[in-house]
A and B are shown apart, each in its own frame.
Chain A
């Protein structure tokens, strides 16, 4: 019976229990004790961050084996990420990805997701913010320089722009492309098709006319599909 188990948020923490057992475990064979090293606390950094974040910043937190997440309001992601980067026990110095998610049924339809990694403590954390079409996010380029390209991607694909971004231009779409592709209301094949026009000797964009042949999808069969069978 461990003498002192962490009562975290009213629940007994199973990994804390484990640690107590591990420390009190006496074994003549070194191998048994070594086996405990497999089950290590990779949730404890996240739990620590629950307690130490300023409460104003956090709206929702999820701890799970599938990915730890914390949600915040639109004003705060820059501050939250600076905190995560600089604080001694949550040294997340790498931003892996910043992407967006479109939930068309919600009022604030986009969610901007920051995936972060701490190489010092080997832990990952995901921070999410919600935004609508006109909200502007503050860029997190100063703590994480790689975020410049991710933010451009979010702007290009979703239309969520940033205030005072050092370099906000399109990154994945064609020059002169109108619209934001990864929004749910832009169809899969887009609105415009592009072809090389011989009389004019250049590439022209025209409204799309897709042939029926192209639109025949039958993914169950491995053979190449054509509309005539």
Chain B
């Protein structure tokens, strides 16, 4: 029993390489991710409550934070989130923080009184002979975030967290 407790950090596979040029392996990825996500959740408090941006960021950041805290192993984190490698997740979290500081500086929240936005939904179909390169399915948590963000008439907590995620091809 004690052997397993000692051996578990040793049994975690060491990541050799990310496979992406210029992106180095971060050995303590989990701690870095947890700190970044908690920082993001703190910073997002400055955004007004009913903005779609705040809802979206809170939704996916808290989901990712939960997964990181539950899983010990970077491989488990990657598999459960389905969002690519942990180094990419770190990069995304850092960019989100940068974006938050920029948004705090610009302060674009709130809708002016004479705001009108013209929305065009053009459903003209593409001719059949044109090859369409459809992308693969997005990770599960994206759809959860999308649901959290779209204004439902009976709005409350977003849809349940994913138990199994689809790995992104």
Contacts and interface: CB of A to CB of B under 8 A. Distances in A.
Given A87-B99, A89-B142, A54 B112 contact: no
B117 A61 contact: yes
Contact of A88 (B92, B136, B152): B92
Contacts of B118: 59-61
A37 B136 contact: yes
Contacts of A54: 51, 53, 103, 108-109
Contact of B122 (A40, A62, A88): A62
Interface string B107-144: 01111100101111111111000000111111000110
Interface residues of B, number: 49
Interface in A101-158: 120-123
Given A39-B134, A86-B96, A56 B111 contact: yes
B147 interface: yes
B74 interface: no
Interface of B: 51-53, 56-57, 60, 84, 92-93, 95-96, 98-99, 102-103, 106, 108-112, 115, 117-126, 133-138, 142-143, 145-147, 149-153, 159
Interface of A: 4, 6-9, 11, 19, 37-42, 44-45, 47-48, 50-66, 76, 79, 82-83, 85-89, 91, 120-123
16 contacts: A8-B150, A41-B137, A44-B146, A48-B142, A56-B108, A56-B111, A57-B108, A60-B118, A61-B117, A65-B124, A66-B122, A79-B108, A83-B99, A87-B95, A87-B96, A123-B135
